[in-house]
């Protein structure tokens, strides 16, 4: 393996590790959002909140979860592609 090939391989491995780290971070964020029963991430729920405000925050929470899911899928796809490159 030449130095240029080694550097290219090292770059791919570093990108794979970055994608893996991003995926793990997103999974942790998703778990935080899922376990946020009292809406602390979204500013907290109050006993005086109207049902409409509660629904609004729940919808925001669901949108955040959906966003995390899509970003996790993208990170996994990047990892799969990079893993294929590493194995070449």
Whole-number percent of the chain with pLDDT over 70: 84
Compute the mean pLDDT over every residue in the chain, rounded to the nearest whole number: 85
Please give the pLDDT value at position 86.
Answer: 76
45 or 24, which is more confident: 24
**Euclidean distance between CA atoms 65 and 36, whole angstroms:** 11
3-state secondary structure of 66: helix
**Euclidean distance between CA atoms 55 and 50, whole angstroms:** 9
Please give the pLDDT value at position 70.
Answer: 96
pLDDT in tens, 53-65: 777 778 888 899 9
pTM: 0.75
């Amino acid at each position: 393996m030449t130095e240029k090939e080694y550097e290219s391989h090292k770059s791919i491995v570093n990108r794979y590790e970055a994608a893996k780290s991003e995926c793990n971070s997103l999974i942790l964020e998703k778990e935080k959002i899922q376990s946020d029963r009292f809406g602390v991430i979204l500013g907290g729920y109050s006993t005086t909140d109207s049902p409409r405000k509660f629904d609004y925050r729940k919808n925001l929470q669901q949108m955040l979860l959906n966003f995390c899911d899509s970003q996790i899928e993208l990170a996994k796809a990047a990892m799969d592609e990079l893993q294929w490159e590493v194995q070449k």
